[in-house]
Amino acid sequence: MALKEVAMKQRRIGLTGGIASGKSTVGALLSSRFGLPVLDADLYAREALAPGTAANDAVLARYGAAVLATGSEPRAEQSEPIAPTIDRAALGQIVFADAAERQWLEQLVHPLVRRRFALELDRLEEAPVLVLMIPLLFEAGLQDLCSEVWLVDCDPEQQLNRLMSRSSLSEAQARARIGAQWPLERKRPLVDRLIDNRGAAEELVAQVAQQLSCCDPPGPGTTW
């Protein structure tokens, strides 16, 4: 469970799940329909590896041309050098095929993501409710940032098919990416609330609204 013994003046919803379980869909609902700030770990991880950052340079130093995006190679005719860009698909091929390489990348990126969360939580300290959307919430040990944890849940077959469809992956590639995270069955007993994403979109909206309204807001000004 989330660390209830830590007194928080905010309701901080830790939103997690497996890859392709529907976290982004629920996060978008919480943002657009219910007006809540959503802090996105995936976005912060992408920003941590942006061209010109120290983490970007570290990745390129480790993997070289294997992860260099087409068009970002230095050329003699360039008047000014451009910062090289990581080909994220190529990087994914490497780290999801090798647990040691994935661990190296996580050790590089996770502290940067956690630092960004700290900055955003300070900036939003007056918000009565906010959402921390973190796919690897338990794997990275970030549940201490939350007052409660929601899990977006679905069947393993749905997860596999959604991932293959959205990312154009083979079944073997999709299974490797799913296997890089804790399975949903391991996460279910650890969370405070389950969001069942096995059905229709309108059912998902109703569940999110119900879970938001089940607790009293922590202070004045709450709009949900």
Q: Strand pairing of 193-196 and 148-153?
A: parallel
Does residue 64 lie in a domain region?
no
Closest CA to 188 of 220, 164, 156, 162: 156
Does residue 98 lie in a domain region?
no
Domain with residue 193: its CATH number is 3.40.50.300
- Cα distance between residue 45 and residue 43, in whole Å: 5
Q: In the structure, what pLDDT confidence band is assigned to residue 76 with cuts at 50, 70 and 90?
A: low
Does residue 56 lie in a domain region?
no
Does residue 75 lie in a domain region?
no
Q: In what order do the strands lie in the sheet with 148-153?
A: 38-40, 129-133, 11-17, 148-153, 193-196
Q: In the structure, what pLDDT confidence band is assigned to residue 71 with cuts at 50, 70 and 90?
A: confident
- Cα distance between residue 138 and residue 16, in whole Å: 9
- Cα distance between residue 11 and residue 30, in whole Å: 13
Does residue 190 lie in a domain region?
yes
Q: In the structure, what pLDDT confidence band is assigned to residue 131 with cuts at 50, 70 and 90?
A: very high
Do 92 and 69 contact (CB within 8 A), yes or no? no
Q: What is the mean pLDDT of residues 140-154?
A: 95
Query: What percent of the chain is modeled with pLDDT above 90?
Result: 83
Identify any residues that bridge with 11 across adjacent strands, giving them in sequence order. Answer: 129
| Enclosing domain of residue 155 | 11-37+127-213
Q: What is the mean pLDDT of residues 85-109?
A: 95
- Cα distance between residue 147 and residue 102, in whole Å: 29
Does residue 163 lie in a domain region?
yes
Long-range contacts of 165-170 (CB under 8 A, 24+ apart): 166/20
Closest CA to 192 of 136, 153, 135: 153
Chain position carrying tokens 């921390």? 132
Write down the mean pLDDT value for the chain: 89
Does residue 153 lie in a domain region?
yes
Do 121 and 8 contact (CB within 8 A), yes or no? no
Q: Looking at the 3D structure of the chain, how many domains does it have?
A: 1
Do 164 and 170 contact (CB within 8 A), yes or no? yes
Does residue 209 lie in a domain region?
yes
pLDDT of amino acid 73 = 61
pLDDT of amino acid 90 = 95
Q: With a cut of 90, say whether residue 58 has pLDDT above it.
A: yes
* Residues written for the chain: 224
